[in-house]
């Protein structure tokens, strides 16, 4: 089994319900078990398209799938939940669900279909903040924390339980 980390985002419809549905589907996928789920974070969209803010999370999964099999599983879930195929939707546009393979154990993957670690992992506050929630203590968690301090004050809001106050991260 390999521990992989997946980034999830949604800014269409019931964003929280979309994230939880993706988590449920990933947990039910063959050879894939969701082990930890971060808090939800509300984040400003990246890119030139005006749109509503995203809810983001990161999950840790234990899997026997290869990196490309995991990517195929993720893409099938996105498709089944209503995300248009690659190239059919606007880059950085709104989406019901977005799932990215961030890390796959210690592996480095470089293919036309998948790059792991995710090439923007260390530049995205909306990924690093929830990633800290699910990473075990150690060098990788320390690197994520240090990088969050370096990249400064991009707007990210950590959400607690529904109806609770929020924290600026």
Burial group, residue 68, by CB count within 10 angstroms (0-12, 13-18, 19+): middle
Q: Is 143 a catalytic residue?
A: no
Type and span of the H or E element at 61 = strand 54-63
Set 15, 25, 39, 83: catalytic member:
83
Cα distance between residue 24 and residue 33, in whole Å: 10
- Is residue 125 annotated as part of the catalytic site, yes or no? no
How far apart are alpha carbons 140 and 73 in whole angstroms?
Answer: 26
The yes-or-no answer on residue 24 being catalytic is no
What does 5-51 look like in DSSP terms, one character per residue?
Answer: EEEEEE-SSSHHHHHHHHHHHHHHSTTEEEEEEPPEEEEPPPSS---
- Residue of 15, 98, 124, 125 marked catalytic: 98
31 Cβ neighbours under 8 A, 6+ residues apart = 63, 64, 65, 69
Catalytic-labelled residue, pool 15, 25, 39, 95: 95
Q: Give the Cα separation of 99 and 7 in Å (integer).
A: 6
Annotated catalytic residue within 100, 124, 125, 133: 100
User: Does 83 participate in catalysis according to the annotation?
Assistant: yes
**Which residues are part of the catalytic machinery?**
83, 95, 98, 100
């Amino acid at each position: 089994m390999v521990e992989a980390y997946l980034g999830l985002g949604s800014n269409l419809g019931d964003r929280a319900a979309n994230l939880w549905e993706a988590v449920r589907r990933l947990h039910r996928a063959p050879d894939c078990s969701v082990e930890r789920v971060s808090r939800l974070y509300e984040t400003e969209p990246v890119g030139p398209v005006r749109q509503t803010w995203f809810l983001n999370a990161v999950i840790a999964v234990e899997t026997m799938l290869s990196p490309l099999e995991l990517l195929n599983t993720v893409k099938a879930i996105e498709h089944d939940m209503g995300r248009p195929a690659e190239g059919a939707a606007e880059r950085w546009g709104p989406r019901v669900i977005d799932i990215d393979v961030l890390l796959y154990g210690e592996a480095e993957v470089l293919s036309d279909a998948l790059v792991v670690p995710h090439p923007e992992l260390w530049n995205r506050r909306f990924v690093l903040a929830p990633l800290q929630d699910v990473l075990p203590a150690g060098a990788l968690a320390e690197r994520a924390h240090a990088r969050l301090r370096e990249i400064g004050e991009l707007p990210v809001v950590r959400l607690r339980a529904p109806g609770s106050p929020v924290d600026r991260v």
